[in-house]
Amino acid sequence: MPELNIDFTWGIKIPLRDGVQLNATLYRPVHAEPTPAIFTLTPYISDGYHPRAVFFSQHGFAFLLVDCRGRGNSQGSFEPIVNEGRDAYDVVEWIARQPWCNGQVTMWGGSYAGFDQWMALKEFPPHLKTIVPVASPHAGVDFPFFKNIWFSYEMQWQTYTSGVTRNENLFQDQSFWIAKFRQRYLEHLPFRHFDRIVGNTTTIFSTMLDHPIPDEYWQRMALSEEEYRRINLPILSITGAYDDDQPGAMAYYRQHMHFGSEVGKAKHYLIIGPWDHLGTRTPAQEFSGLKFAEASLLDMNKLHQEWYDWTLKGAAKPEFLKDHVAYYLMGAEEWRYASSLEAISTTGRRLYLNSSAGMANDVFHSGSLAELPPLDSQPDAYIYDPLDVHMAELEREEIKNNLSDQRYDLNLFGAGLVYHTAPFEVETDIAGFVRLVVWLEIDVPDTDFWVILSEILADGSRVRLAEDFLRARYRESLTAEILVIPGEINCYQFDGFTFFARRIARGSRLRLVIRAPNSIYFQKNYNSGGVVADETAQDARTTHVRLYHDAEHLSYLELPVI
């Protein structure tokens, strides 16, 4: 076994301004002079990050694993995402005063530990010199809801982080969680009771539900316009095309690019890889039926080390960062670079929705996506009955047989619409954020929509590209509730699609699916127009959805084409 050549100190207590002490484990090079220090602030119990700590301490940094307040061996009570900014400030300044630190402090981590970095920056501790937030959720953007639609997973995660232990076996018992998701769904129980259904009422789940939109409660845990303007340190943001927290990671980046100073923005770099959430820290060449080239396997430890060496030790900039934005073009299997997100795509291609005689209800009788706008056509229609639970049985088969979600498109049960392009005549690179504008009529005060864009290869296989959601009452603003007047035709803009970059193969088609998110994995909207978290079967109202695509109501998909 090679010698590690690191010193190790367990059980360090870091005092916070309110008297609470956080528990930390310190790793540092043997006999080292004072060095820059890295820390991660985690609710997932610090021992799980031992290999990362060893790596960075072997490469010339002090590294601290710090348990969030109320978790692991730290004092206090854990309240998700509420205290991390102030606590991280105190940790930064405490570390900077230690004899083994040279006064330069940074952070490491993804997901929750990526959020922590943004919250630390929000407090502007003087000795925080750079951050590398990875797969960072953003309060009110993708945590604990997306577009004000909640996920069943939220109670699974809150149980994972309940008490002081890791609770990993319970968290990973998918049979248990699927059973609880199904119970709530099949029995039409109110989403507000989900903590009781699961058997864990110790969380702040109910408190969060009292804030169903990005109101002041969530805004306190996000950066303001003025705070973005004050940023003046190097930042490396990392996310993935299939990262569940890509909306949050991108929100931080795009808001900084919008509100930040020119000096601050010039120091912010962005990497978007072909990864899922876990892959943003440990890239995998294959997941969920997708497979990528070896170029996708970015060495994250090496990249972080080079970034810290550059920003804290005066070494050369990491060779990988050839421009401010690096993105992986799937299909071409290569990294591309741009000066900004806006510089990636050179043109927008508009594809108009149309159909023949209002037929667009499945993949075999679908509507079309074409460059010529329709002059006169009949609207397409589907029916969404909140009491229809067919999808739960399909999902059970998907889980049992470990299938992809290909059959979601094939089994809409009449509750959705499908549109296809013609086969692509040449390879086409699409990279950026797609946008969908549709004219819809519903006969209830509210309902939810889920739109999914996929590539259908010549052999019939499917590659999911991006998706978006929208609750009808928030069609004009996520913070302004405007119930629908039944029978009124309204314009709905889906502008929350995730970023993707893919070379669409010759012979492939694009498929757009518009449907209700009638699934065990989402909060169910019963269409009454009331408080969705409190709705049950008694509130259920069937909605008849009509999608218009005529000369007066042009519905279209915009593609960012390179």
In contact, 341 and 394? CB cutoff 8 Å: no
The whole-number pLDDT of residue 446 equals 98
> 392 falls in which pLDDT band (50, 70, 90)?
confident
Three-state SS at 254: helix
> What is the distance between the alpha carbons of residues 170 and 155, in angstroms, rounded to a whole number?
12
pLDDT at 346: 86
Q: What is the mean pLDDT of residues 524-532?
A: 98
Q: Is the pLDDT of residue 411 over 80?
A: no
109: nearest Cα among 136, 137, 148, 74 = 136
Provide mean pLDDT across the span 124-152.
98
Residues linked to residue 502 through DSSP beta bridges, in sequence order: 330, 430
Residues 150/142, Cβ–Cβ less than 8 Å: no
* Residue at 442: amino acid letter: I
If you average pLDDT over residues 525-548, what whole number do you get? 98
Give dist(CA 61, CA 64) in Å, integer: 10
499, 150 contact by CB (below 8 A):
no
- Residue 394 — very low, low, confident or very high, per pLDDT cuts 50/70/90? confident
Residue 490, both tokens: 């309204």
Distance CA 54, CA 7 (A): 10
CA distances from 59 to 309, 387, 558 (A): 9, 58, 46
Among residues of the chain, what percentage have pLDDT more than 90?
92
Rounded-to-integer distance, Cα 199 and Cα 335, Å: 46
CB 560 within 8 A of CB 341: no
pLDDT confidence bin for 391, thresholds 50/70/90 = confident
The mean pLDDT value for 249-256 works out to 98
Q: How many C-alpha atoms does 506 have within 13 Å on its Cβ side?
A: 3
Q: For 210-337, where are the alpha helices, taking DSSP H only?
A: 216-219, 225-230, 246-259, 262-266, 300-313
Angle at which helix 50-58 crosses helix 300-313, to 10 degrees, equals: 50
User: What angle, rounded to 10 degrees, do the helices at 112-123 and 246-259 form?
Assistant: 20
Per-residue confidence band for 390, with pLDDT thresholds at 50, 70 and 90:
confident
147: tokens are: 């577009």
State whether the Cα torsion 366-369-372-378 is positive or negative.
Answer: positive
d(CA 156, CA 45): 17
Angle subtended by helix axes 174-186 and 390-401, to nearest 10: 170
DSSP output for 510-562: EEEEEE---STTBPPP-SSSS-GGG--GGG---EEEEEE-BTTB--EEEEEE-
- Stretch 389-405: mean pLDDT, rounded? 63
Mean pLDDT of the residues in the chain: 95
pTM of the model: 0.95
Mean pLDDT, to the nearest integer, of 532-537? 98
pLDDT tens column, 79-88: 999 999 999 9
**β-strand partners of 382:** 545
Strands 435-441 and 556-561: antiparallel
φ/ψ (deg, to 5) at 436: -120, 130
DSSP reduced 3-state for 91 = helix
Higher pLDDT among residues 54 and 397, named by residue: 54
User: What is the predicted pLDDT for the residue at 192?
Assistant: 97
Nearest CA to 431 out of 345, 505, 558 is that of 345
**Mean of pLDDT values over 172-177:** 96
Distance of alpha carbon 339 from alpha carbon 59, whole angstroms: 31
Q: Are 8 and 63 in contact (CB under 8 A)?
A: no
Confidence of residue 483 (pLDDT cuts 50, 70, 90): very high
Residue 405: pLDDT above 90?
no
Rounded Cα gap, residues 214 and 203, in angstroms: 20
Could you tell me where the DSSP H helices lie in 187-232?
194-198, 205-209, 216-219, 225-230
Q: Is the pLDDT of residue 400 over 60?
A: no
**Helix H segments across 151-222?**
153-160, 168-171, 174-186, 194-198, 205-209, 216-219
Residue 410 has pLDDT above 50, yes or no: no
Bridge pairing between strands 509-515 and 380-384: unpaired
Q: Name the superfamily (CATH) of residues 347-561.
A: Galactose-binding domain-like (2.60.120.260)
- Going by pLDDT thresholds of 50, 70 and 90, the confidence category of residue 4 is confident
Residue 48 clears pLDDT 70, i.e. is over it: yes
Strand order in the sheet with 62-67: 6-15, 21-29, 62-67, 35-42, 101-107, 128-130
Q: Which CATH number fits domain 6-141+216-338: 3.40.50.970, 3.30.930.10, 3.40.50.1360, 3.40.50.1820?
A: 3.40.50.1820
For residue 105, pLDDT over 50 is answered with yes
Domain parsing of the chain, residue ranges:
6-141+216-338, 149-209, 347-561
Between CA 39 and CA 48 the distance in angstroms is: 14
Amino acid (1-letter code) at residue 328: Y
pLDDT confidence of residue 413: 47
Q: 119 φ, ψ to 5°?
A: -70, -35
